[in-house]
Structures are given as structure tokens and as C-alpha cells.
Amino acid sequence: MTVKTMQTAEVKELLEKVAGFDKSEGNERVKKIVHRVMHDIFQIVEDFDVTPEEFWSAVYYVGELGANNETALLAPGLGMDRYLDIRQDAIDEAAGLAGGTPRTIEGPLYVAGAPLSEGFARMDDGSDTEAEVILIKGQVTDEQGVPVANAIVDIWQADAKGAYSFFDQSQSEYHLRRRIKTDAEGRYAAQSIMPCGYGCPPDGSTQKLLTQLGRHGQRPAHIHYFVAKPGFKHLTTQVNIAGDEYTFDDFAFATREELVLEPKPVERSDIAARHGWEGPITEVEFNVVLVATDKAELHERHARRRALEENAA
Ligand code: MBD
Ligand code: FE
């Protein structure tokens, strides 16, 4: 039996009071958005005949999600980060700022303040002697192919178990997190280890909901990038290492065709050798094209809460 109450004066009045429409204090934008959100939740209860049992289990689910620190993990799983990117791509397009290397989502595991070096960095601490050694390298240019020197390439990745330092306290400080300044030719390079894909905690709140949706919580092997240089649009992106079973089945919807890289095993790499690694290595080459803009607000990453970021909101 479906009863209809949403159109009644009683419910309309309730929603307006809930959102503070009858109060002069408060924030108008927050009021309007909360009004819409609560209206839509009420409507869902009506349309799906949500029972009190279902309703309260949802309330406690949200609480548990927060207590487990998984709010920013469920978000990409539900496509929200991807959706914000789709919008940002459309905004760039409308502003004549499309082009360059495609963006993709930041994810919840960035840590600010990684060690900064010039041209090259070793990202791993050498503790994993079984891991496949990789050399990440590339050039940052503008859309005309002119090298961008002194760009900051801020890279972070998981270890061979799919875990990120800081969040995994067993890893050393800033393990697999480095900032590298491009050289005069716009080049950067990093010696690292092959990352493994990430999996949501199997007993966590995110996986609990994904399981209800018949979905897995796996990400393919990937490496995150922020690339920044004043005068250019800040770029947030990731590369995927080709050949992972989840490359085109990412629970966070971050894969973009142009960002899938073929790893190339070589017997010796000049760059790695110059920095003390003479053995075989797997090269991962990622060249970045930045889009020039004089809009200063686009030169830096958007504000958001990030680990160890000073102005965390
Ligand atoms: C990750 O490593 C990640 O990049 C995202 C988007 C979500 C969870 C873990
Ligand atoms: Fe990640």
C-alpha cells in the first residue's frame, strides 16, 4: 500500500521549517540545498515505501561510515568524484580551457608536504626487495610542445600490497610520495616500485554497500599526479598501468583511455643508472601537457581537507 503525503500542506510546511525558511538568520544557499535534500529524501521514503527498519539502518550506516573514516571512500565508489570531474571538464570546455592531459579524480589518500627534489627522486625506501623496480619518467610541456621547467610533479602511489603510507602506519614516512621539480627541459623521473591496485577494506562500510549493489571495491594499479606551475591550469590526474584486471573496471570510475600506460621492461635505463640503479627496470613513461591560463585561481588545486595540509578545512 502506497500512501501519498508529500503534496500535503503539512509536509510542505514541515520541510520549510526544517530548512529555516521562516528564519532570517542562517545561510540562504545552505537553506535551499538542505530543503531540496530533505524533500528528496522524504520523496524516496514515499516512493519506495521505506520502512522504519530500513530508515534507521540507513541512519546508523551513515554514522558507521563516518566513524570508520570512509566517507571520502564511498564518495568515489558512488561516482561522485567522477561526476565532479565530468562537470569540471564541461566547465573547462565552456571557458575555452579544454585540452591538455585529461584530469581524473584525486581520491582520498593524498598527503601534503612530500619531500621535494629537482628532476629526480627515489620514491621507495628499499624495504620491499621483492617488488618490481620501475622508472617513472616524462616531460611536462605546454599545448605547443614547449617544455615547462620548474613545474612541481607531486606523485603518490600504493606499495606492492596496495597500501598507502601514512594511512598504512607500517610504511616509512612519505613512502612512495614525492614532489619533483621539472628540469630545464621540463623532464622529471622517479625510481619506484610497481604499485598494486587498491581494494576497499573488505569489512568496511563502503564494501558493505557495494556488496548490496553486487559490486566489488577494487581499483587497478595506478599512480596519482598533481602537476602545477603558475601560468597553467593545475592538473589532478592518475596513470593506470596497463594489464591489470581492473583497468577498465575501477570501482572509483577513474580510468581514462589516454591515461592507461604500457609498462616497458628494459635491461638498463640511463636515467636510473645515473642515480645508482644498474639492473633491469620497468619504464613507465607519462608525458604531461598543461593548459596555459592567466586565471590565478586555476593555478592551484582546489581546497579540500587533505592529510597534513596546513589550511585543512
Ligand atoms: C585509492 O587509492 C584511490 O585512488 C581512490 C580514488 C579510492 C580509494 C583508494
Ligand atoms: Fe589511489
Question: Please, how many CA atoms are within 13 Å of residue 286, restricted to the half-sphere of its CB?
Answer: 29
Q: What is residue 270's predicted lDDT score, i.e. its pLDDT?
A: 95
Residue 313 pLDDT greater than 50, yes or no? no
**Beta-carbon count within 10 A of 72 CB:** 17
Distance CA 226, CA 211 (A): 32
Test site for ligand 1: of 82, 198, 237, most ligand atoms within 8 A of the Cβ: 198
Rg (CA), the chain: 23
189 Rama class: left (phi>0) / alpha (psi -120 to 50) / beta: beta
Q: Which residues contact 212 (CB under 8 A, 6 or more apart)?
A: none
Q: Which residues pair with 135 in a beta bridge?
A: 191, 283
51 pLDDT above the threshold of 70: yes
- For residue 126, give the nearest of 155, 153, 160 by alpha carbon: 160
Ligand 1 within 6 A of CB of 204 = no
pTM value? 0.96
145: left (phi over 0), alpha (psi -120 to 50) or beta: left
Q: Which amino acid is at 275?
A: H
Q: How confident is the model at residue 311 (pLDDT cuts 50, 70, 90)?
A: low
CA of 22 from ligand 2 middle (Å) equals 45
Cell of 122: 627515489
pLDDT surpassing 90 at residue 186 = yes
Res. 310 pLDDT band, cuts 50 70 90: confident
Closest by alpha carbon to 122, among 275, 240, 268? Answer: 275
Instruction: Give the ligand whose atoms come closest to the C-alpha of residue 251.
Output: 1
Let me know: does 127 contact 172? Beta carbons within 8 Å: yes
At 2 the pLDDT is 78
pLDDT tens sequence across 223-269: 999 999 999 999 999 999 999 999 999 999 999 999 999 999 999 99
What separation in Å is there between the alpha carbon of 106 and the centre of ligand 2? Answer: 8
Q: Looking at this protein, which amino acid is placed at residue 49?
A: D
pLDDT score at 63: 98
Whether the predicted pLDDT of 300 surpasses 70: yes
Query: How confident is residue 192, by pLDDT bands cut at 50, 70 and 90?
Result: very high
Q: Number of helices and strands (H, E) in the chain? A: 7, 12
Nearest to 100 by CA among 297, 293, 303: 293
Q: Is the pLDDT of residue 113 over 70?
A: yes
Model confidence pLDDT, tens digit, residues 71-91: 999 999 999 999 999 999 999
Q: Give the mean pLDDT of 136-159.
A: 98
- Closest Cα to atom 7 of ligand 1: 107
